[in-house]
Chain A
Amino acid sequence: QKEVEQNSGPLSVPEGAIASLNCTYSDRVSQSFFWYRQYSGKSPELIMSIYSNGDKEDGRFTAQLNKASQYVSLLIRDSQPSDSATYLCAHEGNAGNMLTFGGGTRLMVKP
């Protein structure tokens, strides 16, 4: 079992819809969770961090964390074609501050 699991996609949503990206993890000790956006050929860009159970909202983005279920998700409201990218879920691993990443979910927002 991979430490961080994501559906590779592609997830295709129409412009203006809500995109829902999901991630499960196996390390129960993890306290810090992150979502990165990566455009093709570019480096990952941090878009959300979440540390406690519940929802955290930042503009069109909402991160949701459920530590009991070992599940973290990212909702993107009013999806735009510019949101088309790969979204990487990551958590703080067990070797200091290292990040353990999932394989990413490719999101396609169609005009």
Chain B
Amino acid sequence: ETGVTQSPTHLIKTRGQQVTLRCSSQSGHNTVSWYQQALGQGPQFIFQYYREEENGRGNFPPRFSGLQFPNYSSELNVNALELDDSALYLCASSWGGNTEAFFGQGTRLTVV
């Protein structure tokens, strides 16, 4: 167990809807990164939050947005869901400049 928790574990949404995924970082970690993992592929970086500010973003459209709260927990919001958004969404926490990142159990999102 990494101490990183995500909710919900599974979610089914309809195309066009909006979804919010949540992540609680490991104690002592101030950085949260979000990744999307399609079936059979490696995780793809969405964005990172450090001390409540976005600290880097991957090649994802603006309908993917996020927040980090003072307790370093984080949310990932996806608007206007598309079928291709179906994936495992992973949250990873780390401490500042230490890039060893530890993943939560993930949220499996299915868009129908």
CA of A96 to CA of B44, assembled, Å: 15
Name the interface residues of A28-47: CB closer than 8 Å to any CB of B.
Answer: 32, 34, 36, 42-46
CA of A97 to CA of B92, assembled, Å: 11
In the bound complex, do residue B41 and residue A97 qualify as a contact, i.e. CB atoms below 8 Å apart?
no
Q: Which residue of A lies closest to B91 (CB)?
A: A43
Residues of chain B contacted by A68 (CB below 8 angstroms): none
Interface size class of A (residues with CB under 8 A): 20 to 34
Q: Is B100 an interface residue (CB 8 A)?
A: yes
Binds A, one of B13-21, B54-62, B66-74: B54-62
Most chain B beta-carbon neighbours within 10 Å: one of A97, A102, A103: A97
Count: A-B pairs, CB below 8 Å: 71
Residues of chain B contacted by A62 (CB below 8 angstroms): none
In the bound complex, do residue B55 and residue A101 qualify as a contact, i.e. CB atoms below 8 Å apart?
no
Sampled A-B contacts (17; CB under 8 Å): A32-B99, A42-B105, A43-B88, A43-B106, A44-B90, A45-B2, A88-B42, A90-B42, A95-B48, A97-B48, A98-B48, A99-B35, A99-B45, A99-B101, A101-B42, A101-B44, A104-B42
Write the nearest CB–CB distance from B36 to chain A, whole angstroms: 11
Q: Is A107 an interface residue (CB 8 A)?
A: no
Write the nearest CB–CB distance from A37 to chain B, whole angstroms: 11
Q: Is B25 an interface residue (CB 8 A)?
A: no
In the bound complex, do residue A95 and residue B57 qualify as a contact, i.e. CB atoms below 8 Å apart?
yes
CA of A78 to CA of B79, assembled, Å: 47
In the bound complex, do residue A43 and residue B103 qualify as a contact, i.e. CB atoms below 8 Å apart?
yes
Query: With A34-B100, A49-B100 known to touch, is A97 a contact of B94 (CB < 8 Å)?
Result: yes
Q: Mark contacts of A85-111 with chain B using CB atoms, 8 A cut-off: 1 yes-contact digit, 0 otherwise.
A: 000101011011111111110000000
Residues of chain A contacted by B102 (CB below 8 angstroms): 46
